[in-house]
A = this chain, B = another copy of it.
Amino acid sequence: MKEFMLDKPSYQKLLRNYQQLNQLTLLDLFAQDNNRALKYTLKVNDMYLDFSKNNITDETVDHLVNLAHESNLIEHIQNMFNGCKINNTESRAVLHTALRTIDNLGDKRQITVDGKDVIPDIQHVLHKMHKFSSKVHTGEHLGHTGKMITDIVNLGIGGSDLGPVLVCQALKPYCKNNLNIHFVSSVDGYQILDILSELNPETTLFIVASKTFTTEETITNAHTARTWFLNNTNNNTEAIKLHFVAASTNTKAVTEFGINAADNMFQFWDFVGGRYSLWSAIGLSIILYIGFDNFKELLAGARAMDEHFLNTHELQHNMPVMLALLGIWYINFYNYSTQVISPYNTRLTRFPAYIQQLEMESNGKSVDKSGKPVSYKTCPVIWGDSGINGQHAYYQLLHQGTSIYPMDIILALSDKYSDKLHNQILQANAIAQAEAFMVGKTHAQAKAELIANGMNDTQADFLAKHKVFAGNRPSNMLILPEISPYYLGNLIALYEHKTFVQGVIWNINSFDQWGVELGKQLARTVLADIKSGKASKHDESTVQIINLCS
């Protein structure tokens, strides 16, 4: 049986390279090549990726790039951008990149799916969102009692939540209107009831973000919001039109809900997956919050990364490709199980959660495109939090734990919404952590420091054993000029394409998510059991817990 990745000539070469490199530390590699930092730094649209603090040599890079070529990566990339139906289990094209081909960028490319150019539809919805958001901002769209909208509530979960949450949090300083934004994602009733308790139905606009308009969590919340609205407006069903809009494709259900589908339903298409949807109608909350011009900047930033990814055929200079291949190196050769994402900026606190969904839902698969089980590891666990906070929480394990955890450190060169000293301290910490992970500290160093501080030899010898850092821990450093719409677009698209490249190397379909089905299916039975107070056929543990809940 053909094992996709394992059969590639470069795979065997990489295995041998790994055996050799495993004997050398990062410090050895820096000592061997004083051009290393410069050579292993890419700059794309003023965003830097310094990947020199990884356990690689030129040989590794060559073999990794060859592995990508042997997997026909460039062809796969072109197929995605051109609208081929690369999502083979659902027979769908994958065209979140098409959402970024907005008219003012002068794009004349046609992208056809089933013989139809998709660009006009995309531009139509974008225009419709622009128009709607302008009306809300200017007061042309008012609440049912004639008051300005003050609060936006996005009802959505997964891809209909994480993207808007990330962008609105990251770009809050770009919000120049007076709108507050709220996100309700969980079906936990407390979340929505708590938020509703502080809102005024006369000035609140709900966005129901669900492609199918059947997502249980979102629709349950939407009905709770609708009931609250009607209870507080003397059952004014007509007013629903002014206070509820939808990002959806289900005209019938949207209309039945009471929404004016013609004007206030914003469509997207089956070539836009949930975790790639912030660029589509799911971005309506973003447009309302930061304004349409900033949203266009976000698209333009993503588009710039798209162009780089599509057109840089010297793959060692292709930033998403290199980021992906470094991941492959650690997952499939070093056998590391996780990838840490450490943004050094509070506004990017939700970036790890966003990337967690993006990569784990895309590549958390164990069969290849043909359905054959793969015999190699695919997606690792992606995790992390604000880096500076992590230093006071889980970095202990990253430095002194019994495994190694590759890390992407993300920082901004300047921050006009911060303070110079604060930002310098933040940067210094990010840089010093990467250095510390690499250089470590020996017992002799630790002991000498303790003795210099006046400790006696016996005590110092003992304590120094606890203060040893093995070092040789790899990290990438991603440096943005600033956290702006443009560079955020750049950054998100970088990881989208990284995810795609890894899927190609692993020969998996990164665009379906059948793994979410079984739990939903079983939940229907369990819910019926809880409601009826009588457990149907399950294992004894499940029965026991259903009985407790009934």
Which residues of A are in contact with B by a Cβ distance under 8 Å?
27, 30, 34, 36-38, 40-41, 48, 50, 52-53, 89, 157-159, 161-162, 172-173, 185-194, 216-217, 220, 224, 274, 337-338, 344-347, 353, 356-357, 360-361, 363-367, 370-372, 374, 376-379, 381-383, 385-386, 388-389, 391-403, 405, 413, 415, 417-419, 421-429, 431-436, 438-441, 462-470, 477, 479, 509, 512-527, 529-531, 538-546, 548-549
- Alpha-carbon separation in the docked complex, A439 to B392 (Å): 39
Given A194-B172, A383-B383, A523-B429, CB of A515 within 8 Å of CB of B469: yes
Contact A465 B371 (CB under 8 A): yes
Q: Which of B385, B428, B439 contacts A526 (CB 8 A)?
A: B428
CB-CB nearest in chain B for A397: B364
CB-CB nearest in chain B for A33: B540
Q: Is chain A's interface secondary structure helix, strand, loop, or mixed overall?
A: helix
Contact A549 B431 (CB under 8 A): yes
- Alpha-carbon separation in the docked complex, A360 to B525 (Å): 37
CB-CB nearest in chain B for A424: B530
Q: Which 5 A-B pairs have the closest CB atoms?
A: A364-B397, A371-B465, A158-B392, A189-B422, A189-B418
CB-CB nearest in chain B for A395: B516
Q: Which of B364, B405, B514 contacts A467 (CB 8 A)?
A: B514
CB distance from A249 to the nearest CB of B (A): 18
Contact A431 B526 (CB under 8 A): yes
Contact B394 A364 (CB under 8 A): yes
Instruction: Name the B residues within 8 Å of A353 (CB-CB).
Output: 385, 393
Contact A388 B187 (CB under 8 A): yes
Q: Which of B337, B338, B395 contacts A515 (CB 8 A)?
A: B395
Q: Which of B274, B364, B401, B434 contacts A365 (CB 8 A)?
A: B401
CB distance from A115 to the nearest CB of B (A): 23
Q: Which of B274, B398, B525, B531 contacts A424 (CB 8 A)?
A: B531
CB-CB nearest in chain B for A223: B421
Q: Which of B417, B424, B513, B540 contacts A527 (CB 8 A)?
A: B424
CB-CB nearest in chain B for A445: B518
Contact B400 A441 (CB under 8 A): no
CB-CB nearest in chain B for A439: B539
- Alpha-carbon separation in the docked complex, A378 to B520 (Å): 35
Q: Which residue among A52, A172, A392, A516 has the maximum number of chain B CB atoms within 10 Å of its CB?
A: A392
Contact B431 A546 (CB under 8 A): yes
CB distance from A235 to the nearest CB of B (A): 20
- Alpha-carbon separation in the docked complex, A53 to B543 (Å): 12
CB distance from A515 to the nearest CB of B (A): 4
Q: Which of B188, B365, B441 contacts A388 (CB 8 A)?
A: B188
CB-CB nearest in chain B for A469: B518
Q: Which of B89, B157, B337 contacts A389 (CB 8 A)?
A: B157
Instruction: Name the B residues within 8 Å of A159 (CB-CB).
Output: 392
CB-CB nearest in chain B for A215: B392
Contact B190 A346 (CB under 8 A): yes
Given A193-B417, A364-B398, A544-B50, CB of A393 within 8 Å of CB of B463: no
Contact A37 B516 (CB under 8 A): no
25 inter-chain pairs at a CB distance below 8 angstroms, sorted by A residue, are: A37-B539, A50-B544, A89-B466, A188-B347, A188-B415, A188-B418, A188-B426, A189-B418, A189-B421, A337-B403, A356-B394, A360-B394, A366-B401, A370-B465, A376-B402, A381-B405, A382-B394, A395-B515, A425-B527, A429-B519, A429-B523, A433-B523, A435-B538, A441-B518, A466-B514
Contact B418 A549 (CB under 8 A): no
Given A357-B393, A428-B527, A469-B515, CB of A189 within 8 Å of CB of B545: no
CB distance from A359 to the nearest CB of B (A): 9
Q: Which of B188, B224, B400, B405 contacts A514 (CB 8 A)?
A: B400
Instruction: Name the B residues within 8 Å of A53 (CB-CB).
Output: 539, 541
Contact A519 B433 (CB under 8 A): yes
Contact A190 B518 (CB under 8 A): no
CB distance from A205 to the nearest CB of B (A): 22
